[in-house]
Amino acid sequence: MFVLLIALAISVVFLAKNYSQKQNEDDAKKIHVVASFYPLYFFAQQIGGDKVSVVNMTPAGGEPHDYEPTPQDIMKINKSKLLILNGGGLETWIDKVRDIIDPTNTRVVVAGEDLINQTMTENENKVSDPHVWLAPALAEKMAGKIMNGLRMADPENAAYYESRARELSARFADLDVAYRNRLASCANRNIVTAHAAFGYLAAAYQLHQIPIANLSPDAEPSPRQLGEVIQAARDYKVKYIFFESLASPKLSETIAREVGAKTLVLNPIEGLTPSELSQGGDYFTEMSKNLANLELACK
Ligand SMILES: [Zn+2]
Protein backbone atom coordinates (compact mmCIF):
# COMPACT_ATOMS: atom_id res chain seq x y z
CA MET A 1 0.00 0.00 0.00
CA PHE A 2 2.77 2.35 1.06
CA VAL A 3 4.79 1.59 -2.09
CA LEU A 4 1.67 2.22 -4.17
CA LEU A 5 1.18 5.62 -2.53
CA ILE A 6 4.79 6.60 -3.18
CA ALA A 7 4.48 5.50 -6.81
CA LEU A 8 1.29 7.54 -7.12
CA ALA A 9 2.93 10.60 -5.58
CA ILE A 10 5.92 10.31 -7.93
CA SER A 11 3.71 10.03 -10.98
CA VAL A 12 1.61 13.05 -9.89
CA VAL A 13 4.80 15.12 -9.49
CA PHE A 14 6.04 13.87 -12.86
CA LEU A 15 2.77 14.69 -14.61
CA ALA A 16 2.59 18.14 -13.01
CA LYS A 17 6.17 18.85 -14.09
CA ASN A 18 5.41 17.70 -17.62
CA TYR A 19 2.27 19.79 -17.67
CA SER A 20 4.05 22.97 -16.57
CA GLN A 21 6.87 22.26 -19.02
CA LYS A 22 4.31 21.91 -21.80
CA GLN A 23 2.65 25.15 -20.67
CA ASN A 24 6.01 26.94 -20.80
CA GLU A 25 6.73 25.54 -24.26
CA ASP A 26 3.28 26.59 -25.48
CA ASP A 27 3.82 30.04 -24.00
CA ALA A 28 7.27 30.32 -25.62
CA LYS A 29 5.71 29.61 -29.03
CA LYS A 30 3.19 32.43 -28.60
CA ILE A 31 3.74 35.94 -29.89
CA HIS A 32 4.27 38.22 -26.89
CA VAL A 33 2.26 41.41 -27.05
CA VAL A 34 2.08 44.35 -24.63
CA ALA A 35 -0.94 46.69 -24.81
CA SER A 36 -0.88 50.00 -22.96
CA PHE A 37 -4.45 49.76 -21.62
CA TYR A 38 -7.61 47.67 -21.57
CA PRO A 39 -9.39 48.21 -24.95
CA LEU A 40 -6.15 47.57 -26.90
CA TYR A 41 -5.48 44.51 -24.74
CA PHE A 42 -8.98 43.19 -25.40
CA PHE A 43 -8.84 43.81 -29.18
CA ALA A 44 -5.39 42.15 -29.40
CA GLN A 45 -6.65 39.13 -27.46
CA GLN A 46 -9.72 38.80 -29.65
CA ILE A 47 -7.65 38.91 -32.85
CA GLY A 48 -4.63 36.98 -31.57
CA GLY A 49 -6.59 34.13 -29.94
CA ASP A 50 -4.35 31.29 -28.79
CA LYS A 51 -1.41 32.39 -30.95
CA VAL A 52 -0.62 35.33 -28.69
CA SER A 53 0.08 36.12 -25.07
CA VAL A 54 -1.08 39.65 -24.31
CA VAL A 55 -0.17 41.75 -21.27
CA ASN A 56 -2.26 44.76 -20.25
CA MET A 57 0.14 47.34 -18.86
CA THR A 58 -2.50 49.25 -16.89
CA PRO A 59 -3.60 46.91 -14.10
CA ALA A 60 -7.31 46.18 -13.49
CA GLY A 61 -8.85 49.11 -11.63
CA GLY A 62 -6.05 51.44 -12.83
CA GLU A 63 -6.40 54.57 -14.93
CA PRO A 64 -4.30 54.93 -18.10
CA HIS A 65 -4.27 58.78 -17.96
CA ASP A 66 -1.98 58.76 -14.95
CA TYR A 67 -0.19 55.43 -15.34
CA GLU A 68 3.60 55.21 -15.15
CA PRO A 69 5.33 52.01 -16.35
CA THR A 70 7.23 49.97 -13.78
CA PRO A 71 10.70 48.47 -14.48
CA GLN A 72 8.85 45.12 -14.97
CA ASP A 73 6.67 46.74 -17.66
CA ILE A 74 9.80 47.91 -19.48
CA MET A 75 11.18 44.37 -19.34
CA LYS A 76 7.93 43.00 -20.76
CA ILE A 77 7.97 45.59 -23.55
CA ASN A 78 11.52 44.58 -24.46
CA LYS A 79 10.56 40.91 -24.59
CA SER A 80 7.50 41.56 -26.76
CA LYS A 81 7.20 41.36 -30.54
CA LEU A 82 4.46 43.98 -30.53
CA LEU A 83 3.76 47.03 -28.37
CA ILE A 84 0.28 48.46 -28.94
CA LEU A 85 -0.32 52.10 -28.06
CA ASN A 86 -3.37 54.32 -28.42
CA GLY A 87 -1.57 57.58 -29.28
CA GLY A 88 -3.00 61.09 -29.00
CA GLY A 89 -1.17 61.67 -25.72
CA LEU A 90 -2.80 58.83 -23.78
CA GLU A 91 0.58 57.24 -23.10
CA THR A 92 2.25 60.22 -21.43
CA TRP A 93 5.23 57.99 -20.62
CA ILE A 94 6.11 56.95 -24.17
CA ASP A 95 8.91 59.50 -24.71
CA LYS A 96 10.72 58.15 -21.66
CA VAL A 97 10.79 54.57 -22.98
CA ARG A 98 11.05 55.14 -26.74
CA ASP A 99 14.86 55.05 -26.69
CA ILE A 100 15.03 51.73 -24.89
CA ILE A 101 12.72 49.89 -27.29
CA ASP A 102 14.73 47.79 -29.75
CA PRO A 103 12.96 48.34 -33.10
CA THR A 104 14.49 45.19 -34.59
CA ASN A 105 12.69 43.10 -31.96
CA THR A 106 9.61 45.09 -30.93
CA ARG A 107 7.23 46.52 -33.49
CA VAL A 108 5.16 49.50 -32.26
CA VAL A 109 1.55 49.90 -33.41
CA VAL A 110 -0.23 53.18 -32.67
CA ALA A 111 -3.83 52.03 -33.02
CA GLY A 112 -5.35 55.52 -32.88
CA GLU A 113 -3.03 56.96 -35.54
CA ASP A 114 -4.90 58.97 -38.22
CA LEU A 115 -8.14 58.56 -36.25
CA ILE A 116 -7.45 61.12 -33.51
CA ASN A 117 -8.83 64.34 -34.97
CA GLN A 118 -10.66 65.97 -32.06
CA THR A 119 -9.22 68.26 -29.42
CA MET A 120 -10.14 68.95 -25.83
CA THR A 121 -9.16 71.56 -23.26
CA GLU A 122 -6.74 70.73 -20.47
CA ASN A 123 -5.40 73.45 -18.16
CA GLU A 124 -6.58 76.08 -20.67
CA ASN A 125 -4.56 74.40 -23.47
CA LYS A 126 -5.93 72.60 -26.48
CA VAL A 127 -4.71 68.99 -26.51
CA SER A 128 -5.53 65.92 -28.63
CA ASP A 129 -8.54 63.93 -27.52
CA PRO A 130 -7.32 60.31 -27.34
CA HIS A 131 -10.72 58.60 -26.62
CA VAL A 132 -11.29 57.13 -30.11
CA TRP A 133 -12.10 53.60 -28.89
CA LEU A 134 -15.54 54.73 -27.66
CA ALA A 135 -16.88 55.14 -31.20
CA PRO A 136 -17.43 51.57 -32.51
CA ALA A 137 -16.63 52.47 -36.13
CA LEU A 138 -13.27 53.94 -35.03
CA ALA A 139 -12.60 51.02 -32.67
CA GLU A 140 -12.99 48.76 -35.69
CA LYS A 141 -10.26 50.72 -37.49
CA MET A 142 -8.02 50.43 -34.42
CA ALA A 143 -8.55 46.67 -34.45
CA GLY A 144 -7.57 46.67 -38.14
CA LYS A 145 -4.22 48.27 -37.24
CA ILE A 146 -3.67 45.73 -34.46
CA MET A 147 -4.42 42.91 -36.93
CA ASN A 148 -1.85 44.37 -39.33
CA GLY A 149 0.74 44.54 -36.57
CA LEU A 150 0.12 40.89 -35.63
CA ARG A 151 0.25 39.82 -39.27
CA MET A 152 3.64 41.48 -39.70
CA ALA A 153 5.03 40.20 -36.40
CA ASP A 154 3.86 36.65 -37.18
CA PRO A 155 3.29 36.22 -40.95
CA GLU A 156 2.91 32.45 -40.56
CA ASN A 157 -0.46 32.93 -38.83
CA ALA A 158 -1.68 35.84 -40.97
CA ALA A 159 -4.81 34.02 -42.18
CA TYR A 160 -5.75 33.15 -38.59
CA TYR A 161 -5.52 36.81 -37.51
CA GLU A 162 -7.40 38.01 -40.59
CA SER A 163 -10.27 35.63 -39.99
CA ARG A 164 -10.59 36.53 -36.31
CA ALA A 165 -10.37 40.26 -37.14
CA ARG A 166 -13.27 39.81 -39.58
CA GLU A 167 -15.39 38.30 -36.80
CA LEU A 168 -14.49 41.20 -34.52
CA SER A 169 -15.34 43.71 -37.27
CA ALA A 170 -18.81 42.23 -37.52
CA ARG A 171 -19.31 42.76 -33.77
CA PHE A 172 -18.24 46.43 -34.05
CA ALA A 173 -20.62 46.87 -36.98
CA ASP A 174 -23.52 45.36 -34.98
CA LEU A 175 -22.69 47.63 -32.04
CA ASP A 176 -22.63 50.68 -34.32
CA VAL A 177 -26.04 49.77 -35.77
CA ALA A 178 -27.47 49.28 -32.25
CA TYR A 179 -26.20 52.72 -31.16
CA ARG A 180 -27.51 54.35 -34.33
CA ASN A 181 -30.96 52.76 -34.06
CA ARG A 182 -31.53 53.08 -30.35
CA LEU A 183 -30.28 56.68 -30.06
CA ALA A 184 -32.09 57.87 -33.19
CA SER A 185 -35.20 59.00 -31.34
CA CYS A 186 -33.52 60.69 -28.35
CA ALA A 187 -35.48 63.72 -27.23
CA ASN A 188 -32.63 65.21 -25.17
CA ARG A 189 -29.21 64.81 -26.80
CA ASN A 190 -27.22 66.54 -24.04
CA ILE A 191 -25.05 64.28 -21.87
CA VAL A 192 -23.23 65.42 -18.73
CA THR A 193 -20.20 63.13 -18.42
CA ALA A 194 -17.65 62.75 -15.60
CA HIS A 195 -14.72 63.55 -17.90
CA ALA A 196 -14.46 64.52 -21.55
CA ALA A 197 -14.09 60.94 -22.81
CA PHE A 198 -17.12 60.79 -25.09
CA GLY A 199 -16.31 63.33 -27.82
CA TYR A 200 -15.95 60.72 -30.60
CA LEU A 201 -19.01 58.80 -29.42
CA ALA A 202 -21.03 62.05 -29.25
CA ALA A 203 -19.89 63.02 -32.75
CA ALA A 204 -20.86 59.61 -34.16
CA TYR A 205 -24.40 59.65 -32.74
CA GLN A 206 -25.19 63.39 -32.71
CA LEU A 207 -24.99 63.83 -28.94
CA HIS A 208 -23.73 66.94 -27.15
CA GLN A 209 -21.22 66.29 -24.38
CA ILE A 210 -20.99 68.53 -21.30
CA PRO A 211 -17.96 67.19 -19.36
CA ILE A 212 -17.51 67.84 -15.63
CA ALA A 213 -13.72 67.28 -15.82
CA ASN A 214 -11.59 67.49 -18.95
CA LEU A 215 -8.86 65.03 -19.84
CA SER A 216 -8.17 63.28 -16.57
CA PRO A 217 -11.10 61.82 -14.61
CA ASP A 218 -9.47 62.68 -11.27
CA ALA A 219 -8.65 66.32 -12.07
CA GLU A 220 -10.76 68.70 -9.97
CA PRO A 221 -12.71 71.19 -12.08
CA SER A 222 -12.60 74.81 -10.90
CA PRO A 223 -15.67 76.22 -9.07
CA ARG A 224 -16.38 78.32 -12.16
CA GLN A 225 -16.30 75.26 -14.42
CA LEU A 226 -18.55 73.38 -12.01
CA GLY A 227 -20.98 76.32 -11.96
CA GLU A 228 -21.10 76.28 -15.76
CA VAL A 229 -21.86 72.54 -15.84
CA ILE A 230 -24.68 73.01 -13.29
CA GLN A 231 -26.09 75.87 -15.35
CA ALA A 232 -25.90 73.82 -18.57
CA ALA A 233 -27.55 70.82 -16.89
CA ARG A 234 -30.41 73.11 -15.79
CA ASP A 235 -30.72 74.86 -19.14
CA TYR A 236 -30.79 71.59 -21.05
CA LYS A 237 -33.13 69.94 -18.50
CA VAL A 238 -30.78 66.97 -18.11
CA LYS A 239 -32.35 64.16 -16.06
CA TYR A 240 -29.24 62.04 -15.45
CA ILE A 241 -25.65 62.97 -14.57
CA PHE A 242 -23.13 60.33 -15.56
CA PHE A 243 -20.27 59.03 -13.44
CA GLU A 244 -17.50 56.44 -14.02
CA SER A 245 -16.71 53.23 -12.21
CA LEU A 246 -12.96 54.01 -11.99
CA ALA A 247 -13.31 57.51 -10.52
CA SER A 248 -15.13 59.03 -7.55
CA PRO A 249 -18.85 59.65 -8.22
CA LYS A 250 -18.90 62.61 -5.76
CA LEU A 251 -18.97 65.50 -8.24
CA SER A 252 -21.63 63.81 -10.37
CA GLU A 253 -23.73 63.27 -7.23
CA THR A 254 -23.29 66.90 -6.14
CA ILE A 255 -24.42 68.20 -9.53
CA ALA A 256 -27.34 65.73 -9.65
CA ARG A 257 -28.52 66.94 -6.21
CA GLU A 258 -28.12 70.56 -7.26
CA VAL A 259 -30.26 70.22 -10.41
CA GLY A 260 -32.66 67.49 -9.21
CA ALA A 261 -31.29 64.77 -11.50
CA LYS A 262 -30.26 61.15 -10.91
CA THR A 263 -26.88 59.52 -11.56
CA LEU A 264 -25.98 56.69 -13.94
CA VAL A 265 -22.74 55.03 -15.07
CA LEU A 266 -21.22 55.90 -18.43
CA ASN A 267 -18.05 53.84 -18.67
CA PRO A 268 -15.14 55.27 -20.70
CA ILE A 269 -13.68 51.72 -20.69
CA GLU A 270 -10.21 53.00 -19.89
CA GLY A 271 -9.91 49.98 -17.65
CA LEU A 272 -12.34 47.52 -16.11
CA THR A 273 -12.61 47.17 -12.34
CA PRO A 274 -11.82 43.73 -10.85
CA SER A 275 -15.56 43.32 -10.17
CA GLU A 276 -16.52 44.16 -13.78
CA LEU A 277 -13.94 41.60 -14.97
CA SER A 278 -15.09 38.90 -12.55
CA GLN A 279 -18.66 39.35 -13.81
CA GLY A 280 -17.45 38.52 -17.32
CA GLY A 281 -17.38 42.15 -18.45
CA ASP A 282 -15.52 43.16 -21.60
CA TYR A 283 -15.51 46.02 -24.12
CA PHE A 284 -18.77 44.88 -25.70
CA THR A 285 -20.72 44.27 -22.47
CA GLU A 286 -19.68 47.71 -21.16
CA MET A 287 -20.52 49.41 -24.48
CA SER A 288 -23.96 47.75 -24.34
CA LYS A 289 -24.53 48.95 -20.78
CA ASN A 290 -23.45 52.43 -21.86
CA LEU A 291 -26.00 52.32 -24.67
CA ALA A 292 -28.80 51.24 -22.31
CA ASN A 293 -27.94 54.11 -19.93
CA LEU A 294 -27.66 56.66 -22.74
CA GLU A 295 -31.03 55.53 -24.04
CA LEU A 296 -32.57 55.97 -20.59
CA ALA A 297 -30.98 59.40 -20.10
CA CYS A 298 -31.89 60.84 -23.49
CA LYS A 299 -35.65 60.19 -23.31
ZN1 LIG B 1 -10.08 59.61 -20.47
* Structure confidence by residue, pLDDT tens digits, 246-263: 888 999 999 999 999 999
The ranges of the chain annotated as CATH 3.40.50.1980 are 30-178, 184-297
**Phi, psi angles (nearest 5°) of residue 121:** -100, 135
Strand partners, 128: 119
Query: Using one digit for the tens of pLDDT, what is the confidence trace for 6-21?
Result: 666 666 555 666 666 7
Ligand 1 centroid to residue 214 C-alpha, Å: 8
Tell me the whole-structure pTM to 2 decimals: 0.91
Ligand 1 centroid to residue 198 C-alpha, Å: 9
Are 194 and 247 within 8 A, CB to CB?
yes
Q: How far is CA 217 from CA 62, 182, 213, 265, in A?
A: 12, 27, 6, 13
Q: What is the mean pLDDT of the chain?
A: 92
CATH of domain 30-178: 3.40.50.1980
**Phi, psi angles (nearest 5°) of residue 149:** -60, -45
Provide the pLDDT confidence category of residue 297 given band limits of 50, 70 and 90: very high
Ligand 1 centroid to residue 17 C-alpha, Å: 44
Q: Which residues surround ligand 1, an ion (CB under 5 A)?
A: 197
**Phi, psi angles (nearest 5°) of residue 190:** -95, 125
Query: Using one digit for the tens of pLDDT, what is the confidence trace for 29-67?
Result: 899 999 999 999 999 999 999 999 999 999 888 889 889
Share of the chain above pLDDT 70, in %: 93
184-297 maps to CATH 3.40.50.1980: yes
Ligand 1 centroid to residue 92 C-alpha, Å: 12
If one counts every other C-beta atom within 10 angstroms of the C-beta of residue 270, the result is 27
∠143-276-46 over CA atoms, to 5°?
Answer: 25
Ligand 1 centroid to residue 79 C-alpha, Å: 28
Residue 150 or 62, more confident: 150
Ligand 1 centroid to residue 268 C-alpha, Å: 7
Query: Using one digit for the tens of pLDDT, what is the confidence trace for 92-120?
Result: 999 989 999 999 999 999 999 999 999 99
Q: What is the structure's pLDDT at 215? A: 79
Query: Using one digit for the tens of pLDDT, what is the confidence trace for 174-229?
Result: 999 999 999 999 999 999 999 999 999 999 999 999 999 987 777 788 899 899 99
Ligand 1 centroid to residue 197 C-alpha, Å: 5
- For the chain, give the number of residues: 299
